[in-house]
Amino acid sequence: MSNLITLKYDSEGGYIQYITKIIFKFALEMDFKYYPLDSHSFKFRIRGFSYNEKMLNLMWEKPPIFGDHDNPNFDVQLESFSESKATFQDEKFDELSFKLIFRRKISYHVVQTFIPSLLLIVITWLCFFMPQRLVEVRVGICMTIVLPLTAMQDRQSSPKSAYVKALDIWMVGTIFFVFLILFKLAVLIWLKNRKMEYEKETKSCPFSIQLRSAGRSSNAENGFYPTNTFEISATRKLELVVDCISILERRAFPCFLILFSTFLAIYWGWVVVCSGFLNWPRQNVTLNPNL
């Protein structure tokens, strides 16, 4: 409470008005599940405990006006106000209440987190368009991308909480898609090594594999049963590996693009809809007719 006190005499009613400026500081509990698209609403109550309604009357003299505020983190609005009676120890007390709503400003997180991480994912797409012989270069690009993504996650000054926030899901999701590209490159390297081995084997004679039938036959001769013989040449293996490499190179990027687009649609749909971020009322139109 400040020291600004005014005593005003009402000549018509014979009352003395006591006017003072009061500043309240509240400790509020917030839910950061949808951070940084989180919105909060708080209802504040003002009432007396020593003077009942016969001795102390609390009322809004006129509709409250939400003054100017300078909060760099939140948009703040006065949503509602009311007058009521509160019962305490069999006595009634006047009570004033008002409700404030807060919506976090996301411009900082869009510029510092979402757009940079999205651009880093787009940079990894260059790996799909490089020649097959530059597999090591592709791996180097992906590993380089992982470093800024990890550093970006560590430097986020997000509120401390024991549960997972929406921003955590976004950062883990971006790192996961980089991991998918690394996994694809690892499979590609393995196939290229098999290809080199089979190319060497094509210079030698083909080999065969004999498979013994598990069923019994009445035509057994000398204790042996008929078998089937399949000739699998190194040339055929080489063709299979080349086909796998070709399919992996042609299908990997469309599949990755579909998965990433699905992730974006599900993530932003969930965050925006469930957080109610867009359900922001007009600027105090019903509360302050002067606005």
The 10s digit of each residue's pLDDT in 151-163 is 887 766 778 888 8
**157 and 75 in a common domain:** no
CATH number at residue 64: 2.70.170.10
In a domain, 177, yes or no: yes
| Domain-located, residue 283 | no
Based on the fold, state whether residues 141 and 268 are members of the same structural domain: yes
Encoding tokens for residue 164? Answer: 């997972």
- pLDDT at position 269, please? 94
Number of H helices, E strands in the chain: 5, 7
Q: DSSP code of 221? A: B
Domain identity same for 83 and 186: no
> Does 221 fall in a domain?
no
**Same structural domain, 50 and 111:** no
pLDDT at 31: 87
- 90 and 158 in a single domain? The answer is no
Work out how many domains the chain is built from and give that number. 2
Residue 281 lies in a domain: no
Both 127 and 200 in one domain: the answer is yes
Report if residue 282 sits inside a domain: no
For residue 50, what are its two tokens? 């020593």
Question: Residue 155's pLDDT is what?
Answer: 67
Is residue 135 located within the same domain as residue 80? no
CATH code for the domain in which residue 136 is found: 1.20.58.390
Q: pLDDT per residue over 201-219, tens digit each?
A: 776 645 444 545 555 444 4
- Within 8 A by CB and 6+ apart from 132, the residues are 188, 192, 245, 249
- Residue 127 in contact with residue 178, Cβ under 8 Å? no
Q: Quick one: 85 and 180 in the same domain?
A: no
User: Which alpha helices (DSSP H) does 156-165 contain, by range?
Assistant: none
Structural domain contains residue 216: no
The answer to whether position 284 is within a domain reads no
Q: Which domain holds residue 50?
A: 5-104
In terms of domains, do 82 and 129 share one? no
Rounded to the nearest 5 percent, the helix, strand and coil shares of the chain are 45, 20, 35
Domain contains 265: yes
Burial call 38-54: b when 16+ CB within 10 Å, e when fewer: bbbeeeeeebbeeebbe
Q: Are residues 94 and 128 both part of a single domain? A: no
Q: How far is residue 46's CA from residue 63's CA, in Å, rounded to a whole number? A: 16
Quote the DSSP letter at residue 224: B
**Residue pLDDT, tens place only, 56-103:** 778 777 776 666 667 788 888 888 888 888 877 778 888 888 888 888
Same domain, 195 and 93: no
What pLDDT is stored for residue 4 in this prediction? 54
Structure confidence at residue 221 (pLDDT): 47
List of the chain residues with pLDDT < 70: 1-11, 13-14, 64-69, 155-156, 203-234, 282-291
Which residues fall within 8 angstroms of residue 58, CB to CB, at 6 or more apart? 46, 47, 48, 83, 94, 95, 96
158, 254: one domain: yes
Please give the Cα distance from 77 to 215 (Å, whole number): 81
